[in-house]
Amino acid sequence: MTELELKFIVPAACLDSLRQDLLGRGALAVRMRAHYFDTADMALARHRAALRLRLEGRHWVQTLKAAGAGAVHRLEHEVRVPGRPSERPALDPARHAGSPAAAGLAAALADAADPALTELHATEVLRLQLQLQDAEGTQIEAALDTGHAHAAGRQDALQELELEHKGGPLAGLFELAIACVRHGGLWQSTLTKAERGLRLHLGQTGLRAAPHRPAQAAAAAPPAAVLRACLQAVLTPLLAHSSELAGRAPATAGAPTVPGFDAVAAALGADLSRLGALLRCLQDDRSPEVAGWQAQARALQGLARAHRHHPDALGATARSTGLQVLLLQLQQRAHAGDDAFAAASALPPATWRRRRAALVKAGLLLG
């Protein structure tokens, strides 16, 4: 199966009210303990895959996740594993044979110096889980996780809200997410529990810049497919860098600059520049929405440039409602149908060829 999930960091000031709101709507509480496995040289992490055994209440579940189409879309396969709650069952990668995610696991293990899998980190959380359905039929699973990740004697607190699309129109998922950002003070993070645990295992405390990889599309690919791929290629590092900056702790007086900050700050500016170039290629869409995105991208690029040497100010920009809502609206467009790119699809062939060449020149698309 595939998973389309939006994850948000819940600030301490919002946690209690969110918890009470979920409980008031009938959320169920379940304790979870997850054990994450990888090779000694962390081949699964390099391939954006994760393999875990998790105790959910009194039942063990083995889950494999692998990279999907975009930053918030993943391949997922779960298997219920028999066993007593007090004894962790043996991990068996073969349980995922034949699933869509299995190819990602096989590629990772083939890339490992030694394919043996060992536990590297774990999480313990209390989850409040609620099934939602809006008037348009969108089905969403909301899960508030509070607890911690731990590895190598280190701990990291977890306060996350996950919104997973379970069925119906996708628009409802993003509308709920935008409401959470606007009224709850939450911000989106694409840093997974597996990634946070791995950083604990390695003792990494700095920020990490993500590479930009231009989209790939066949020469005969329709405009909608090309633009969707370019938008995903822009959003993936942009979401990663905004997550890094938003999640960093405020600096204390006299503290040194966080390692990696300069590289991530520069990368965020480059991401916003590429976003501006892509939005110019959508200028045939006369909707006020696209014009608003262009104005927001320019304003945010200016803020990123002004704050590139000021970690606290740039972190506040990354958490800002303006950037968070923009990112969610763009993700909604990236996961929408071809009609979301109808204006580009209606361009004369010669005009579209020039537009595609501009995408290549801007580094958004491989030639």
Residue 249 has pLDDT above 70, yes or no: no
**Residue 342: helix, strand or coil by DSSP?**
helix
Q: Among the three residues 167, 202, 237, which one is the final residue of a domain in this structure? A: 202
**The domain spanning residue 91 has which CATH number?**
2.40.320.10
Domain that holds residue 182: 2-202
Please give the average per-residue pLDDT across 152-181, as a whole number: 96
The whole-number average pLDDT for the span 204-230 is: 94
Kindly state the helix (H) or strand (E) to which residue 43 belongs, with its residue range. Answer: helix 43-46
Q: Does residue 23 share a domain with residue 143?
A: yes
Residue 314 inside a domain? The answer is: yes
* Same domain for 185 and 73: yes
Residues 147 and 286 in one domain: no
Domain assignment present for residue 212? The answer is: no
Mark whether 13 and 122 lie in a shared domain. Answer: yes
Least confident of 13-22, 80-89, 280-289: 280-289
Q: Of 168, 202, 236, which one is at a domain's C-terminal end?
A: 202
Label residue 251 by pLDDT band (50, 70, 90): low
Say if 210 falls within a structural domain.
no
Residue 309 sits in the same domain as residue 198: no
Residues 200 and 149 sit within 8 Å (Cβ to Cβ) = yes
Q: What does the pLDDT look like over 103-133, one tens digit per residue?
A: 999 999 999 999 999 999 999 999 999 999 9
Question: Residue 252: which pLDDT band, with cuts at 50, 70 and 90?
Answer: low
Calculate the average pLDDT of the chain: 93
In this prediction, residue 343 has a pLDDT band, given cuts at 50, 70 and 90, of: confident
- Domain assignment of residue 125, yes or no: yes
Averaged pLDDT, 69-73: 82
In the prediction, which pLDDT does 184 show?
Answer: 82
352 domain residue, yes or no: yes
Residue 282 pLDDT grade (very low, low, confident, very high; cuts 50, 70, 90): confident
Residues 6+ apart with CB under 8 A from 225: 217, 338
Instruction: Tell me: do 63 and 193 sit in the same domain.
Output: yes
Residue 213 in domain = no
Q: Considering the domain boundaries, does residue 336 fall inside one? A: yes
Residue 217 lies in a domain: no
- Answer yes or no: do 32 and 88 share one domain: yes
**Spatial distance between the Cα atoms of 184 and 177, rounded to a whole number of angstroms:** 10
Full DSSP string of 155-217: EEEEEEEEEEEEES-THHHHHHHHHHHHHH--EE----HHHHHHHHHHT--S--------B--
Per-residue pLDDT, 254: 52
pLDDT at residue 208 tops 90: yes
Same domain, 51 and 180: yes
Domain count, the chain: 2
Cα separation, 208 vs 196, in Å, equals 12
Query: Comparing 314 with 285, which gets the higher pLDDT?
Result: 314
Asked if residue 291 has pLDDT above 90, the reply is no
In terms of domains, do 70 and 140 share one? yes
Q: Residue 75 — very low, low, confident or very high, per pLDDT cuts 50/70/90?
A: very high
**Percentage above 90 pLDDT, the chain:** 85
Model confidence band, residue 96 (pLDDT cutoffs 50, 70, 90):
very high
> Which of the listed residues 150, 167, 202 is the one where a domain comes to its end?
202
Residues 190, 338, single domain; the answer is no
Do the bridges between strand 50-56 and strand 154-167 make them parallel or antiparallel, or are there none, so unpaired? Answer: unpaired
Structure tokens at 295: 């104005």
Q: Let me know whether 179 and 66 are in one domain.
A: yes
Question: Both 37 and 185 in a single domain?
Answer: yes
